[in-house]
Amino acid sequence: MVETIRIEQKILGRNDELAAQNRSRFDAAGVLAVTLVGSPGSGKTALLEQTVQSLRAFRAAVIEGDIETDRDAQRIGRLGIPVVQIVTNGTCHLNAGMVQKGLDRVDLPNVNVLFIENVGNLVCPAAYSLGEHLRVVVASTTEGEDKPLKYPAMFRQADAVVINKVDLLPYVPVNLAEAREFVRRVNPTADIFETSCTTGAGIEEFSRWLADRGR
Ligand SMILES: Nc1nc2c(ncn2[C@@H]2O[C@H](COP(=O)(O)OP(=O)(O)OP(=O)(O)O)[C@@H](O)[C@H]2O)c(=O)[nH]1
Ligand SMILES: [Mg+2]
């Protein structure tokens, strides 16, 4: 048991070193790096599709992380945005080393904002810094209001929490005020957005928040 803890610390220590290297590369190139995390299907790729179109004035690039398939990269690529797909082959999160390999295929000097979509998972990605400047948790109305309380590590690290799929509110028994209150309870400072990627509601506000933090 003690041995296991020691090994984990070693792995995470090495990850932090690589994350610091990634951060140096972002800063040297003047790139704002933004990670999107959240449950499978919460709408991370949908939010990216909307956001990169809303931020046309910015030169965006995307790194996609998935356990299998390049389906998300294909969706982003169809918008004419440079995209790299990382397939983790079963690993439930990206780590800084994977992102470092992906970065070798990104033209950083010609990018203002780099989005990194992590593997859909509300647990594992919380432990691995990728060197990003901002972390955005994408939650959705269909997940229920209690996820910040049940998966606090992920929400605690967030700079912003996006509550997506608000177009489904008439059909889903979820209390949005309570959802916001539960986010606040674990993270009093995160900015909270309510979006619908099908109607476009809230996309402008979220894009403006990102633009204000751009380099
Ligand atoms: N009604 C509704 N559906 C949405 C919204 N956003 C995304 N969806 C749908 O939800 C499903 C999942 O969306 P994705 O963007 O693939 O979700 P994801 O978080 O990227 O999923 P993974 O990458 O597999 O973790 C798709 O069928 C989307 O069309 C929304 O705001 N409203
Ligand atoms: Mg996705």
Dig out the tokens for 73 from the structure.
Answer: 């990269």
pTM of this structure: 0.95
Cα atoms in the Cβ-side hemisphere of radius 13 Å centred on 116: 30
137 and 169 in contact (C-beta within 8 Å)? no
Is pLDDT above 70 for 71? yes
Provide the mean pLDDT of the chain.
95
Is pLDDT above 80 for 58? yes
Ligand 1 first shell, C-beta below 6 A: 38, 40-46, 72, 120, 164-165, 167-168, 196-198
The alpha-helical segments, DSSP class H, found in 81-175 are 96-103, 147-150, 152-156
pLDDT (0 to 100) of residue 57 = 87
Dig out the tokens for 208 from the structure.
Answer: 């403006």
| Cα 75–Cα 79–Cα 82 angle in degrees, nearest 5 | 85
Distance CA 130, CA 17 (A): 10
Residue range 176-205, pLDDT digits in tens: 999 999 999 999 999 999 999 999 999 999
Residue labelled with tokens 């949908």: 46
Q: What share of the chain is helix, strand, coil (3-state, %, to 5)?
A: 45, 20, 35
- Give residue 12's pLDDT band: very low, low, confident or very high (50, 70, 90): confident
Residue range 112-124, pLDDT digits in tens: 999 999 999 999 9
Residue range 146-158, pLDDT digits in tens: 999 999 999 999 9
Residue type, 137: V
Mutate which of 140, 163, 199 for ligand 1? The one with the most ligand atoms within 8 Å of its CB, which is 140
Q: Give the number of other Cβ atoms within 10 Å of residue 95's Cβ.
A: 23
Can you tell me the mean pLDDT for 124-138?
97
Closest ligand 1 atom to Cα of 197: 31
